[in-house]
Chains A and B, each alone.
Chain A
Amino acid sequence: MVQSIIRVTRLLLPVLALCVTLGVMIRAFRRRPAHGFGHRPWFLFLALTLFGVMIALCITNETWWTEPLTLMLFIAFLAVQWMSFVFAGRGGMRAELTGFFLTDLGLMVAALNDTGAFHTQLICVAAGIAGFYILRFFLRNPAFMEYLRIPAAVCCLGLLVACLIFADPVNDSKSWITIAGFTFQPSEIAKVCYVLAAAIPERKRGGFKELLIFTVFSAASVLCLVVMNDLGSAVVFFCGFLAAAAMRKWGYPAAAAGLLAGGGGGYLALNLSGRAAGRFATWGKAWEFANEGGYQQTRAMAAAASGGLLGLGVGQGWLRDVYAASTDLVFCVICEELGLIVAICAILMIFLTCVQAVFAARRGRSPYLVSCACIAAMILAIQAALNALGSVDILPFTGVTFPLISQGGTSAMTCWWLLAFTGTEFMPAFHAEEEEETPSEEEVEEE
């Protein structure tokens, strides 16, 4: 029975993943909002649902009738997908499709790790999806969101400083805070606050003073993360800063200055942090240090190659037994069990989020929304790149999570919130008169 399910699903899952990715790709390049049949992509959603059902079958095989909770919860998650589909607005479901696809994979990883992790992940995903729709609702009124910039900045710095003070060091890094038995990662929530705070304001845009304040705020955030020894997140924030700075007047010089400062800071951090330096020492030479610094990367690459294009089947891999496989090495776990095709689809989903952000600049009615989409997409892309390419020794192995796939409640929740900022250009505006606005090649002229 188990083998029959594996035989069928390892062939169907890549096909369904390709269908979903192709559908999202077509919608990402669409110049106008979909109407009529295209508004609700039934075929695409059926493929996504079937993908989810197959994953659910695989992770609950043999135990679905003795321990039905996991299966029921997964079905509930699929029901949420359908609700969001039925009530989808003109936005076109693009960010949601990306989110649901990656979350299916993330839930698979968590469920195969242990049942408790699956439940935690599902609760956090639920909070993430709820936050996604709340944020989407408020993003319809960019003018209102701009008022949240200062509170968001305070919140971002507050969370990072709190982490610095209260967090217990784990693996030399002070990233985790435990309150009343719940452990969470404040730097993940700070990412969302950073997007809100760093986006270009509609008024005062291009002002030198605003640029200065923004730069100081970004530098403080990155510095906090460096002191926390969370260098992966520091790189993610720094790239968010580059994306946000480039959108401002005088932004490119500021970004260049930031790169210089970041490069110098990175050099210092490498010299001060033995752990980070150790990871850099084996970068690109993982096979030479296969049983030392390159242990995780070589195992990840061997496992990824074992999967071929179609994978060994869900739950049939061994990489899950290696330390941090469900977080840092998760890309290779997907390669091993679901194959290279599904893993590339996951990467393409993140890439298409960036494509949407670029297209949003042509169509977006609000520079604030456009810059939100751009920063959020940058953060997601950098996280995906650091995770996937770090685990296969193309980039340094930094231990950053893969958006929505890596096991981790806070990360899954905040990645959904980050997704809320993307794909907003066809979203109906809050005001009736803006609803009739036709997307155009809008430009923001330098003042």
Chain B
Amino acid sequence: MKLRWRMLPMAFAAIILLGGIAMFSAGIVLQGEEWAMQPWNDTVCEDGVLNTGSVTDRNGLLLTTAQGGERRWIGDELTRLSMLHIVGDPEGNIGTGVLSAYPEILAGYDLLNGLYSADYSGGTLRLSADTELSRTAYEALEGRNGAVLVCNYETGEILCAVSGPSFDPADPAAQIPDGAYLNRGISAVYPPGSIFKIVTAAAALEQIPDVLDRVFWCEGGCYVGDDYVSCSGYHGEVTLEDAFAVSCNCAFAELALELGGETLQEYADAFGLTVPQQIGNAETAAGGFDAYPDGTSHLAWSGIGQATDLVCPAAFLRVVCAAANDGVAPDLTLLRNGNPNGGGERLMPGDTAAKLLEMMDYAVSYTYGDWSFPDLEMHAKSGTAEVDGEEPHAWFAGFVTNPGKPYAFVVILENGGSGAEYAGAVANTVMQQAVFG
């Protein structure tokens, strides 16, 4: 046997060495970012908290930056308060803030340089949110607990995600109000009240062929079995459009009973209201919808957005976007150009979306009044969600179709009273800024 064939064990060891290093190198290329972004990585973290990276708003206004391990904030307090829940806090308590959700961008990781950055400032993350719009929304909340979400329904870019109460991240001694770490627009769920009638209406339009020709009878309430379902007023004979505009509980109770609990649940699931939805690296809270047995008052109430229905405002924003965008909900993003390929999910057929758009337009002109939203081509639905023993939650969800301003919004005021009156007023203030600002 030739001497060189007697070197196989050594050659084998050399090949193991080279093969193993090839495996490791592949690991660095494919998973390097994941390996590096650990809370114990002292290059970018201190005591488990990311201490590098800068965040700007959509116009490049620097909101926060970290140099030499010390985080600094923009000088204006109102801006800090209004942008807190979208930027996040340095300790990472606000999980949906970009400081927590996008550590790899803020750390400035790339394969060539790893986590090296010449001035130790890390990477820069550009938000899709607009500072002026957020300031307006925060002021419009007037210290009430709640949230204002505005997005572009074509690109999915979130322009405003203000949540109250807030606190000043630049002031470590600040008294932090209860629940201030919660982004109420993304991480909280509420009973939806009448805004859920958008879902019930969509199901009825698709599942009941002659629903647009029907006439419903409302005499201020109706009986389902022995239980009474009350309505907001005496509406008499109403069509579906009328019932949607005046938010007639009797008509929608009848529709819910006809559709059945399982059908309604299918629509709630298909619209993404019952499971967490991704907003880039962040995630919405999961809502809930229970399919009640046929013929029960619970089923009737669940079609009106009461019973045990729960909805996350950001998840409902997707439904509103779909109604405005020919049935397609774009992938929501917190980053500027965060959805460059225009990815999205079709939630409903185009003709259903078109009909919903008409109905929301009619609701504004017939019930809320066009004069309430001067110069805005507003399409919306209000909701006043009853809460046991407390003031109801006020909702207002919709979109505008002003040229070049494809913006959808959801406003929720915790225990805020009438949706049309109070949340509608906030929506008008915010959308005036968004469209004409």
Pairwise interchain contact B35-A354, C-beta atoms closer than 8 A: no
Interface residue from B16, B33, B36, B116 paired with A310 (Cβ < 8 Å): B116
The one of A308, A364, A442, A444 that contacts B115, using a Cβ cutoff of 8 Å: A308
Q: Does B175 contact A (CB under 8 A)?
A: no
Known: A306-B36, A444-B2. A374 touches B7 (CB 8 A): yes
Instruction: Give the distance to chain A from B68, nearest Cβ to Cβ, in Å.
Output: 12
A299 touches B40 (CB 8 A): yes
Contact between B23 and A394 (Cβ–Cβ < 8 Å)?
yes
Q: Are A392 and B27 in contact (CB under 8 A)?
A: yes
Tell whether A72 is near chain B: CB-to-CB under 8 Å. Answer: no
Interface of B, secondary structure class, is helix
Residues on B with beta carbons closer than 8 Å to the beta carbon of A199: none
Chain B residue at smallest Cβ distance from A362:
B4
User: Is residue A232 contacting chain B, with contact meaning CB distance below 8 A?
Assistant: no
Question: Smallest CB–CB gap between B44 and chain A, Å?
Answer: 8
- Would A318 and B43 be within 8 Å (CB), given that A347-B18, A358-B4, A388-B20 are in contact? yes
Bound complex: CA A321 to CA B43 (Å): 12
Give the docked Cα–Cα distance between A361 and B9 (Å): 14
Chain A, residue nearest B116 (CB): A312
Are the C-beta atoms of A388 and B10 separated by less than 8 Å?
A: no
Q: 8 Å CB contacts to B: which residues of A300-350?
A: 301-313, 316-318, 321, 335-336, 339-340, 344, 347, 350
List of B residues within 8 angstroms of A361 by Cβ: 2-4, 6-7
- Whether B114 contacts A310 by the Cβ 8 Å rule is yes
Per the bound structure, the CA–CA distance linking A299 and B45 in Å amounts to 13
Task: Decide: A312 and B43 in contact? CB cutoff 8 A.
Answer: yes
A233 in the interface, Cβ–Cβ < 8 Å?
Answer: no
Is A354 a contact partner of B11 (Cβ separation < 8 A)?
Answer: yes
- Binary CB contact string for chain A from 357 to 381 against chain B (1 if under 8 A, 0 otherwise): 1100110100100100011011001
> Which of A46-54, A218-226, A243-251 sits within the interface?
A243-251
- Check if B219 is an interface residue, CB within 8 A of chain A: no
Query: Please, how many residues of chain A have a CB less than 8 angstroms from a CB on the other chain?
Result: 64
CB distance from B45 to the nearest CB of A (A): 10
Closest to B1 in A: A446
Chain A residues with CB below 8 A from B208, complex form = none
Which A residues are in CB contact (< 8 Å) with B174? none
Verify if A385 is at the interface (C-beta below 8 Å from B).
yes
B376 within 8 A of A: no
Nearest Cβ distance between residue B36 and chain A, in whole angstroms? 4
Could you tell me if B116 and A385 are in contact, using CB atoms closer than 8 angstroms? no
Distance in Å from the Cβ of A345 to the closest Cβ of chain B? 11
Q: Are B21 and A367 in contact, CB atoms less than 8 angstroms apart?
A: no
A255 at the interface (CB under 8 A from B): yes
Shortest Cβ gap from A201 to chain B (Å): 14
For the complex formed, measure the closest distance between the CB of A236 and the CB atoms of chain B, giving whole angstroms: 10
* B-chain residues with CB within 8 Å of residue A364 when the two chains form the complex: 3
C-beta contact mask, B141-170 vs A, less than 8 Å → 1, else 0? 000000000000000000000000000000
Task: Please judge, given known A-B contacts A344-B21, A443-B2, A446-B1, whether A358 and B11 are in contact too, CB under 8 Å.
Answer: yes
Interface segment, one of B93-101, B105-113, B391-399, B423-431: B105-113
A309-B111 contact in complex given A298-B38, A354-B10, C-beta closer than 8 Å: yes
State whether A351 and B17 are in contact (beta carbons under 8 Å apart), knowing that A242-B9, A357-B7 are contacts in the complex.
Answer: yes
Q: Kindly state the separation between the CA atoms of A307 and B9 in the bound complex, as whole angstroms.
A: 33
Least Cβ distance of B226 to chain A in Å? Answer: 57
Given the known A-B contacts A370-B3, A388-B24, A389-B24, are A308 and B32 also in contact in the complex, defined by CB atoms under 8 Å?
yes
Does A3 touch B at the CB level, under 8 Å?
Answer: yes
Binding site for A on B (CB under 8 A): 1-4, 6-11, 13-14, 16-18, 20-21, 23-25, 27-28, 31-33, 35-36, 38, 40-44, 109-116, 118
Top-9 shortest CB links A-B: A308-B114, A354-B14, A305-B35, A318-B42, A361-B4, A305-B36, A389-B20, A305-B32, A385-B17
The contact sample of 12 A-B pairs, CB cut-off 8 A, is A247-B3, A298-B38, A304-B35, A307-B115, A308-B112, A316-B116, A350-B17, A358-B11, A361-B6, A378-B9, A385-B17, A394-B24
